[in-house]
Amino acid sequence: MATIEFQGKSFNVDEDGFIESYSEFSEEWVQWVKKEEGIDELTDEHRQVIKVLQDYYEKNGIAPMVRILSKLTGFKLKHIYELFPSGPGKGACKMAGLPKPTGCV
Amino acid sequence: MAKHQTPLLDQLESGPWPSFVSDLKQEAEARAKNEKNIEYQIPQDVVEDLLGVLELSFKDGVTHWKHGGIVGVFGYGGGVIGRYCDQPQQFPGVAHFHTMRVAQPAGKFYTTKYLNDLCDLWEFRGSGLTNMHGSTGDIIFLGTTTPQLEEIFFELTHTHNQDLGGSGSNLRTPSDCIGEARCEYACYDTQALCHYLTNEYQDELHRPAFPYKFKFKFDGCPNCCVASIARADLSFVGTWKDDIQVDQDAVKAYVDGTYPPNAGAHSGRDWGAFDIKAEVIDRCPTGCMKYENGKLEIDNRECTRCMHCINVMPRALKPGKEKGLSILAGAKAPILDGAQMGSLLVPFIKVEEPYDEIKEVIEAVWDWWMEEGKNRERLGELMKRQGFQRLLEMTNIKPVAQHVKEPRTNPYIFWKEDEVPGGFERDIKEYRKNHQR
């Protein structure tokens, strides 16, 4: 486990740069991941994806399926990749502070 | 002098089979010597640390890789399998040991130039270790670090004109038998179809959009040399519609012993002289063959195209001329609700560019499964949960007797409301008029 210091905050992250606990999420975390994930400018659409992911996670305890994320945000998968070049898992879920996707990835 | 003692692994250097341990040691030594003066981008002793961690696993009887790993390249949602050692201080060379899946050419035909170029890239930016190939078909680059992923991807695409394979909940890398390239049984060009559909569905391959993984495999005939029927959610198996082509003179040559049966596949043991009755006629699953007065006859209407007679007498018998393929759906390994092999969906379909009919089936299956499939539910499981009938409706395929091995034996039969005179809305008062309580 590593610790990241950024804008006066510190975050515990794993090797893949996922936050150790959802409770550590903060605006500074968003700014840090933005830098890591090749995102130039954070738009309202980015915020919307993060909000949807967090609401869903808080309510259901899991990240939504890609199809559900598309439905809830109204963004096609292609657009989600335009927003988050690493995709909804490695990009958006990481920025939203959700746990790392698992399974046969 | 090796970095770690490996007494258990050393035992696997004896015996006649090519030893992966000897090969690993050879690569470890080559990296240590570095005769080409390569500026290694990951630890030079990566292979020695891999041997070290493997030896430790042999000793402990457990794996020493951490759970999971999410790494990749921008633009794609898959293609790289992240992996970290759980003893990074002891084995720093494999602290990061990610696997990259590289798309392979259909049929896995290569030139040494191409392979040499890939090896140069991998020596430079990876461990130098590979898996040729993964079970799904990809060229596997075994072991590199996160910072190298984008570098390798850039080189692969810009210098080698080569893309990554698939991983995650998406269309995985399709693969095929060698087909018409080197087999007289092939009923369609498996490589052409595999290549075409791989290109056609790149988006589905690189950016996971499915409920779970999905695989295509292409077999030229029912011998299934790429095992599509067991290892692909949609299996494409070549077949034919008309009569088996029989060369009576060649049949005679088999009977008189001029040609060896099964092209000599059983020559390692004395099975006696070829007996066409015992080895072909009586083994035909439908009993549709006759050999009388030196003439082989086949009642093709009753032939199920199992390939046995053709396999035994390849110089005398050939698949028919009206060729195509069958599509089977739903094969998967046991998790979650039991192993499945493909179930026949389309008995016969022509294989003609641009393959519109085949794409129609694929896309109809996807539309249904993407909408209805639960999280991590394979197509085969959705078929079980919602019923084969539903798959037929969604793909617009009429139910035919060939869709089942046998009719159902239980009487729990669902009817649609419009199939039942009067529908399902009934008033109990109407019933009471004729039936007292």
Banded model confidence at residue A102, pLDDT cuts 50, 70, 90: confident
With beta carbons under 8 A apart, name residues in chain A contacting B65.
Answer: none
Q: Is B425 contained in some domain?
A: no
Cα separation values, B133 from A47, B65, B117, B129, B346, Å: 41, 21, 17, 12, 30
CB of A99 within 8 Å of a chain B CB? The answer is no
B84-113: per-residue pLDDT in tens?
A: 999 999 999 999 999 999 999 999 999 999
Residue A105 is predicted with a pLDDT of 61
Question: What are the phi and psi torsion angles at B145 (to 5°)?
Answer: -105, 160
Banded model confidence at residue B68, pLDDT cuts 50, 70, 90: confident
Three-class secondary structure of residue B375 per DSSP = coil
Give the residue from A40, A75, A90 with the most B CB atoms within 10 Å of its CB, the best one to mutate: A90
With beta carbons under 8 A apart, name residues in chain A contacting B72.
Answer: 86-87, 90
Three-class secondary structure of residue B274 per DSSP = coil
In a 10 Å sphere around its CB, with 0-12 CB exposed, 13-18 middle and 19+ buried, how is residue B40 labelled? middle
Under an 8 A CB cutoff, do A65 and B211 touch?
Answer: yes
ipTM: 0.86
B189-202: per-residue pLDDT in tens?
A: 999 999 999 999 99
Q: Is B163 contained in some domain?
A: no
Q: Please spell the DSSP secondary structure of A37-73, one letter per residue.
A: TT-SS--HHHHHHHHHHHHHHHHHSSPPPHHHHHHHH
pLDDT-above-90 percentage for chain B: 99
Q: Is B433 contained in some domain?
A: no
Residue A104 is predicted with a pLDDT of 67
Residue B1 is predicted with a pLDDT of 57
Under an 8 A CB cutoff, do B69 and A87 touch?
Answer: no
| Containing structural domain, residue B128 | 7-158
The helix or strand, by DSSP H or E, that contains position A5, with its residue range, turns out to be: strand A2-6
CATH of the domain at B119: 3.30.70.2500
Average pLDDT rounded to a whole number, residues A19-42: 92
For residues A38 and B425, the model is more confident at: B425
Same domain flag for B237 and B249 = no
Q: Smallest Cβ distance to B375: which of A15, A65, A102?
A: A65
Average pLDDT rounded to a whole number, residues A25-36: 92
- The alpha carbon of residue A77 is apart from the nearest alpha carbon of chain B, in Å, by 7
Domains of chain A: 2-95 (1.10.10.370)
Average pLDDT rounded to a whole number, residues B306-315: 98
Q: Is B420 contained in some domain?
A: no
Confidence check: pLDDT of B328 > 60: yes
Banded model confidence at residue B292, pLDDT cuts 50, 70, 90: very high
Same domain flag for B30 and B116 = yes
CB of A104 within 8 Å of a chain B CB? The answer is yes
Same domain flag for B80 and B194 = no
Enzyme catalytic residues of A: 104
Which of B281, B300, B318 terminates a domain? The answer is: B318
Q: What does R_g of chain A's alpha carbons equal in angstroms?
A: 13
Same domain flag for B113 and B195 = no
Residue B406 is predicted with a pLDDT of 98
Confidence check: pLDDT of B123 > 80: yes
- The alpha carbon of residue A86 is apart from the nearest alpha carbon of chain B, in Å, by 5
List of residues 6+ apart from A4 with CB closer than 8 A: A10, A11, A13, A32
Residue B434 is predicted with a pLDDT of 97
Exposed e or buried b per residue across B73-94, where buried means at least 16 C-beta atoms within 10 angstroms of its C-beta: bbebbbbbbbbbbebbeebebb
Q: Closest Cα to residue B139, out of B173, B113, B116, B168?
A: B173
Confidence check: pLDDT of B157 > 60: yes
Same domain flag for B21 and B116 = yes
- The alpha carbon of residue A61 is apart from the nearest alpha carbon of chain B, in Å, by 14
CA distance A84 to A39: 7
CA distance A91 to A81: 9
B335-344: per-residue pLDDT in tens?
A: 999 999 999 9
Banded model confidence at residue A100, pLDDT cuts 50, 70, 90: confident
Same domain flag for B134 and B94 = yes
Banded model confidence at residue A38, pLDDT cuts 50, 70, 90: confident
Same domain flag for B50 and B136 = yes
Which of B290, B318, B346 terminates a domain? The answer is: B318
Q: Is B346 contained in some domain?
A: yes
Residue A36 is predicted with a pLDDT of 87
Taking each helix axis as running N to C, give the angle between helix A44-60 and helix A66-73, from 0 to 180 degrees, rounded to the nearest 10: 120
Q: Is B364 contained in some domain?
A: yes
Residues of B with CB under 8 A from a CB of A: 66-72, 74-78, 81-82, 84, 96, 167-169, 203, 207-211, 213, 370-371, 375-376
Under an 8 A CB cutoff, do B70 and A65 touch?
Answer: no
CB of A88 within 8 Å of a chain B CB? The answer is yes
| Count of the separate structural domains present in chain B | 3
CB of A81 within 8 Å of a chain B CB? The answer is yes
CB of A59 within 8 Å of a chain B CB? The answer is no
CATH of the domain at B346: 3.30.413.10
Same domain flag for B289 and B331 = no
CATH of the domain at B271: 3.30.70.20
Q: Is B51 contained in some domain?
A: yes
Residue B186 is predicted with a pLDDT of 98
Q: Is B435 contained in some domain?
A: no
CA distance B377 to B369: 9
Residue B23 is predicted with a pLDDT of 98
Same domain flag for B218 and B276 = no
B233-290: per-residue pLDDT in tens?
A: 999 999 999 999 999 999 999 999 999 999 999 999 999 999 999 999 999 999 999 9
pLDDT-above-70 percentage for chain B: 100
DSSP B13: G
Which of B158, B184, B219 terminates a domain? The answer is: B158
Residue B42 is predicted with a pLDDT of 98
CA distance B104 to B195: 10
Residue B2 is predicted with a pLDDT of 79
Same domain flag for B101 and B46 = yes
Evaluate whether B18 touches B67 at the Cβ level (below 8 Å): no
Same domain flag for B361 and B300 = no
A60-82: per-residue pLDDT in tens?
A: 999 999 999 999 999 999 999 99
Under an 8 A CB cutoff, do B211 and A89 touch?
Answer: no
Evaluate whether B198 touches B165 at the Cβ level (below 8 Å): no
Same domain flag for B266 and B341 = no
Give me the total of CB pairs closer than 8 Å, taking one residue from chain A and one from chain B.
67
